[in-house]
């Protein structure tokens, strides 16, 4: 249990401000990379040899030399026999400008002075004196090549902020832009995006935040494919290369083609939809003030929080600047932190129990001292609160975040994608079994004309599934190779929060039941075939015996026909019939257990969704909208 901090110490820390090191990660599946490559040339395959050549892209050796040793410092990565990953750099501004070795851009983030959202059937608004602007936000970008040939793109933002209500709402809104509630896009009013970007070095000086991210991705993806064609120029017929535009390349890599995402009704054309982006985030709050507030001793002393009551104006509950300024600054910070770790912008409507739950970390455990790091996790984001850290100082100039935390983030994001692939493979098997009526009732299966061959086909599908599961899932999975107890502990906690282990175990049980069903069906089909063959052999045997018997009768009775010979003949025929009836009588076999469609439906309904954060938040999370700029 940590020590409490006095008011003077907290006041001094609060005045110093803090920095958020926010990294957005976009995972691009190797299937999409292969498809994008195929549309440009048929001479190349997106495989291990090609991905290995990307080590030379943008002189990635400098980035690797700076960061890889830090990765190896906390992880025995050689123990992952099949897991091979590496960093790929992107273009950066001239280091001679004095901004650092790996700066992509320097931007300003602007949030309107009015922020409006709706939740639980109510409309609320926060009014500030001026628009909120985060200036001198430094951006860094890089790729990671994964062992299954997928790539992940990482764009970091270093955001300096102050401990004010306006900055708290703005930080929440920046996060909400990338992770809108319940799968819906952040709402907009009169065509204005919620967060605007002013770029110092970009080709588009002003844009929405999602559009800025998409533009950076398009540029870096285009340059990456240029490197592919350069290093493989001896294998590519340049005349046959059909280069994709940056826009089309981004669509191929980021957005699903089979189900185009509908544009939200109020979503401006300047804001790209993000529903198809496979995205996660890692956020480091470098803030001695927040670290002190979240210290177990200080947090345990929190018994209540000031109630912040909005003013109702034209049916809208409005949080005015003066009302927010009257709230105790420590309480306001607790409100924000509890909501921020759950991606909730409606953080002022919490009671003390919700605040305590929302600020309860996954690491360290409640009875332990906070040490140097406090870690939180949600299904979409990983958070770390620190006062300062050597690892952050070393990793920040290159990747914009703490390399230790980033490695854990990378491992869990990769593993979650593998679990998603595993789930899809199992669902494909289930669909096949339903198509061939293995999940139908016994009567329906007996009526199905496909019953004689479908078990063999399904048995072969399962054999292929086992091979694919190893080749595409098991050989690429990270296991806990972290060297130190701290990182090992919160790695396990993050996988638990995101339900990775639970989902793996659940689908393994489903596969076990499916395999039992298929094995039973295959055995039953084999018994049926063997039974038919044995019956045919029995008929041939009986006919043969009768033929020999009649030849014996002809030998003893020669060619004469009398009553005795007829009696012997009828007797042998009767004996043969008795033997045939006994032999061909169907045996009583126990009914083989099978997995019914109803049972499978029950299993799917029981699928774990991941425990998520321990919280008593309301069901309807807020979706923010903005008013036009003043």
Q: What's the pLDDT tens digit per position in 203-253?
A: 778 888 988 999 999 999 999 998 988 888 878 776 677 777 888 888 888
* Pick from 210-224, 284-298, 477-491: least confident: 477-491
Domain for residue 566, yes or no?
A: no
- Tokens 């007829």 identify what position? 566
Q: Which two tokens stand for residue 535?
A: 């019956």
Q: Which of 35-44, 219-228, 474-483, 577-586 has the lowest mean pLDDT?
A: 577-586
Q: Is 544 inside any structural domain?
A: no
What pLDDT, on the 0 to 100 scale, is given for residue 16?
92
Q: Is residue 500 part of a domain?
A: no
User: Mean of the per-residue pLDDT values for the chain?
Assistant: 79
Query: In 3D, which of 134, 156, 137, 143 has the Cα closest to residue 24?
Result: 156
Yes or no: say if 282 and 79 are a contact pair by the CB < 8 Å rule. no
% of the chain at pLDDT higher than 90:
31
Residue 313: is its pLDDT beyond 80?
yes
Q: Would you say residue 187 has pLDDT above 70? A: no
Residue 452, pLDDT above cutoff 60? no
Domain count, the chain: 1
Query: What is the domain extent for residue 376?
Result: 7-412+617-626
pLDDT exceeds cutoff 80 at 434: no
pLDDT tops 90 at residue 564: no
DSSP string, 367-381: TS--TT-EEEE-SSE
Task: Kindly tell me the sign of the dihedral angle through the C-alpha atoms of 75, 79, 83, 86.
Answer: positive
Report how far apart, in Å, the C-alpha atoms of 15 and of each of 8, 10, 22, 161, 270 are.
11, 9, 22, 11, 37
Q: Chain-centre distance of CA 630, in angstroms?
A: 39
Look at residue 607 in the predicted model and tell me its pLDDT: 59
More confident residue, 591 or 61: 61
Q: Is residue 292 part of a domain?
A: yes
Condensed to tens digits (0 to 9), the pLDDT of residues 61-90 reads 889 898 988 888 888 766 554 557 899 999
For position 169, what pLDDT does the model report?
94
DSSP-based three-state secondary structure for 369: coil
Longest Cα separation, the chain = 130
**Residue 97: pLDDT band with limits 50, 70, 90:** confident
Percent of the chain at pLDDT > 70 equals 77
With 60 as the cut, is the pLDDT of residue 599 above it? Answer: no
pLDDT at position 616: 44
Q: In this structure, is residue 479 part of a structural domain?
A: no
Q: Is the dihedral of CA 360, 322, 309, 124 positive or negative?
A: negative
Per-residue 3-state assignment (H helix, E strand, C coil) for 276-334: CCCEEEEEEEECHHHHHHCCHHHHHCCCCCCCCCCEEECCEEEECHHHHHHCCHHHHHH
Nearest to 63 by CA among 400, 410, 383, 389: 400
pTM of the model: 0.80
Q: Is the pLDDT of residue 440 over 60?
A: no
Give residue 192's pLDDT band: very low, low, confident or very high (50, 70, 90): low
* pLDDT, position 405: 92
Cα separation of 289 and 164, whole Å? 12
Overall average pLDDT of the 243-266 stretch? 67
Residue 563 lies in a domain: no
Q: 190 in helix, strand or coil?
A: coil
Which of 51-60, 100-109, 176-185, 571-580 has maximum average pLDDT? 100-109
pLDDT at 168 > cutoff 70: yes
Please tell me the predicted confidence (pLDDT) of residue 511: 75
Instruction: Tell me which DSSP letter residue 193 carries.
Output: -
Per residue in 544-554, pLDDT (tens digit) is: 777 777 676 66
- The pLDDT confidence band at residue 618, using thresholds 50, 70 and 90, is very low
Looking at the predicted structure, is the pLDDT value of residue 354 above 90?
yes
199 occurs within a structural domain? yes
Q: With beta carbons less than 8 A apart as the criterion, state whether 283 and 19 touch.
A: no
| Calpha distance 538→626 (Å, rounded) | 84
pLDDT value at position 273? 62
The answer as to whether 535 is a domain residue is no
Residue 381: per-residue pLDDT: 94
Measured CA to CA, the distance from residue 177 to residue 188 in angstroms comes to 11
CA distances from 114 to 121, 348, 627 (A): 19, 16, 6
């Amino acid at each position: 249990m940590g020590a409490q901090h006095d008011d003077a110490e907290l006041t001094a820390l609060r005045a110093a401000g803090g920095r958020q090191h926010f990294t957005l990660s976009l995972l691009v599946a190797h299937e999409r990379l292969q498809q994008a490559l195929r549309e440009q040339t048929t001479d190349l395959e997106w495989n291990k040899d090609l991905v290995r050549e990307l080590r030379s892209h943008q002189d990635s050796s400098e980035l690797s030399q700076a960061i890889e040793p830090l990765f190896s410092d906390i992880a025995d990565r050689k123990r992952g026999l099949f897991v091979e990953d590496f960093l790929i750099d992107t273009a950066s501004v001239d280091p001679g400008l004095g901004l650092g070795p790996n700066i992509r851009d320097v931007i300003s983030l602007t949030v309107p002075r009015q922020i409006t959202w709706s939740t639980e059937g109510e409309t609320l608004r926060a009014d500030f004196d001026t628009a909120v602007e985060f200036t001198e936000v430094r951006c860094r970008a890089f790729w990671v090549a994964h062992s299954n040939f997928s790539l992940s793109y990482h764009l970091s933002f270093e955001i300096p902020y102050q401990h004010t209500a306006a900055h708290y709402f703005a930080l929440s809104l920046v996060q909400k832009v990338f992770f809108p509630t319940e799968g819906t896009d952040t709402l907009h009013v009169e065509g204005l995006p919620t967060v605007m970007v002013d770029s110092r070095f970009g080709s588009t000086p002003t844009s929405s935040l999602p559009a800025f991210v998409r533009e950076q991705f398009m540029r870096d993806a285009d340059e990456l494919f240029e490197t592919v064609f350069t290093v493989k120029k001896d294998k590519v017929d340049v005349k046959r290369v059909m280069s994709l535009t940056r826009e089309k390349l981004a669509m191929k890599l980021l957005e699903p083609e089979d189900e185009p995402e509908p544009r939200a009704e109020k979503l401006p054309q300047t804001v790209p939809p993000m529903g198809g982006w496979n995205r996660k985030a890692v956020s480091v709050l470098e803030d001695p003030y927040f670290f002190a507030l979240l210290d177990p001793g200080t947090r345990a002393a929190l018994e209540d929080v000031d109630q912040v009551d909005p003013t109702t104006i034209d049916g809208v509950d409005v949080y005015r600047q003066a009302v927010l300024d009257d709230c105790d600054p420590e309480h306001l910070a607790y409100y924000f932190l509890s909501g921020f770790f759950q991606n909730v912008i409606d953080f002022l409507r919490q009671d003390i129990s919700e605040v305590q739950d929302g600020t309860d970390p996954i690491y360290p455990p409640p009875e332990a001292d906070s040490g140097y790091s406090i870690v939180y996790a949600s299904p979409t984001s990983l958070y770390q609160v620190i006062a300062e850290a050597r690892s952050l100082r070393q990793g920040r100039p290159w990747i914009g975040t703490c390399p230790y935390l980033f490695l854990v983030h990378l491992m869990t994001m990769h593993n979650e994608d593998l679990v998603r692939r595993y789930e899809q493979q199992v669902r494909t098997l289930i669909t096949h079994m339903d198509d061939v009526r293995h999940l139908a009732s016994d009567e329906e299966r007996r009526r199905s004309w496909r019953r004689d061959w479908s078990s063999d086909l399904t048995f072969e599908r399962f054999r292929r599934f086992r091979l694919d599961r190893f080749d595409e899932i098991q050989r690429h999975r990270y296991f806990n190779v972290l060297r130190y107890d701290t990182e090992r502990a919160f790695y396990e906690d993050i996988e638990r929060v995101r339900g990775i282990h639970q989902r793996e175990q659940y689908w393994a049980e489903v596969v076990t039941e499916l395999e039992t069903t298929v094995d039973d069906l295959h055995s039953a089909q084999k018994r049926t075939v063997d039974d038919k063959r044995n019956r045919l052999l029995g008929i041939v045997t009986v006919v043969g015996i009768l033929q020999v018997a009649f030849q014996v009768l002809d030998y003893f009775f020669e060619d004469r026909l009398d009553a005795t010979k007829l009696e012997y003949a009828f007797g042998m025929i009767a004996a043969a019939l008795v033997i045939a009836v006994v032999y061909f009588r169907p045996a009583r076999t126990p009914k083989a257990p099978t997995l019914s469609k109803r049972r499978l439906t029950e299993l799917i309904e029981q699928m774990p969704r991941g425990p998520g954060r321990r919280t008593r938040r309301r069901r309807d999370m807020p979706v923010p909208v903005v008013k036009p700029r003043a």
